[in-house]
Amino acid sequence: MKLAYLFSLLLFAFLLASCFISIQKEIPGLKSGYYNLSNDDLKSINFTKEVYPRTLNAITGSDLSKLLSLKDSSMVYIWSPDCSSDACIPLFVFTQYCFSQNLEPIIVVEYINLEKTLPQFDDTSTYYLINFLKYQTDFVNKYKKKFKYEMINNSSVNIRQTLGHRYYKFIGNSFLSSQLSINELER
């Protein structure tokens, strides 16, 4: 009887663990999504220093900080393809908002979901992807934290205070503010 109970318990634990592993692979936003791409899909990702239209151009936070230094004022939107909250607005709405506020829109895609990302591309914006390969991790939360630290490039800013924030306002590459919702940003 004890042996049957132990066997049942081990079988249940094994099934639960294998279920968790298969679910973990499918959770959007847990990992970059890069390693699930087909060879054709890989053509939509650019890991070179060149920037191409209608492509996800991989960038590090420090490279983005250098890019920001060339702009007068800009807003970075760290966009998640599967986010359905009010904080996540369509890319064209973000771009229109930035233009109305005299801000350069910079769109950084958090992880790869080409099915939801590519249809939102237009010819007026450049699209970036956090270069998770440079951060040597496939886990979104790990590479996003490192990316934001480099992008903000200000040791007096506690990165934990930007947890969940999607919108980052800059003058040149000087960080001004970040918010969860675009409506919370002060002009």
**pLDDT on residue 167:** 96
- Domain carrying residue 12: 1-30
Whole-number pLDDT of residue 151: 96
Same domain? For 163 and 94 the reply is yes
Query: 74 and 26 in one domain?
Result: no
Cβ neighbour number for residue 152 with a 10 Å cutoff: 23
Q: In the prediction, which pLDDT does 109 show?
A: 97
Residue 187, pLDDT score: 44
> pTM above the 0.85 mark?
no
Same domain, yes or no: 56 and 110: yes
Instruction: Please state, rounded to an integer, the average pLDDT across all residues of the chain.
Output: 87
- Residue spans of the chain under pLDDT 50: 20-24, 187
Alpha helix ranges (H) inside 52-139? 61-68, 91-100, 114-117
Distance between CA atoms of residues 62 and 53, nearest Å: 21
Q: Is 29:84 a contact under the CB 8 Å cutoff?
A: no
Residue 11: predicted pLDDT: 56
Mind listing the pLDDT tens digit for each residue in 31-54?
A: 999 999 999 999 999 999 999 988
**How many domains does the structure of the chain reveal?**
2
Pair 24, 66 in one domain: no
Kindly state whether residues 80 and 149 are assigned to the same domain: yes
Residues 64, 118, single domain; the answer is yes
* CATH at residue 112: 3.40.30
Same domain as 177, residue 104:
yes
pLDDT at 23: 46
**3 and 43 belong to one structural domain:** no
Does 57 lie in the same domain as 18?
Answer: no
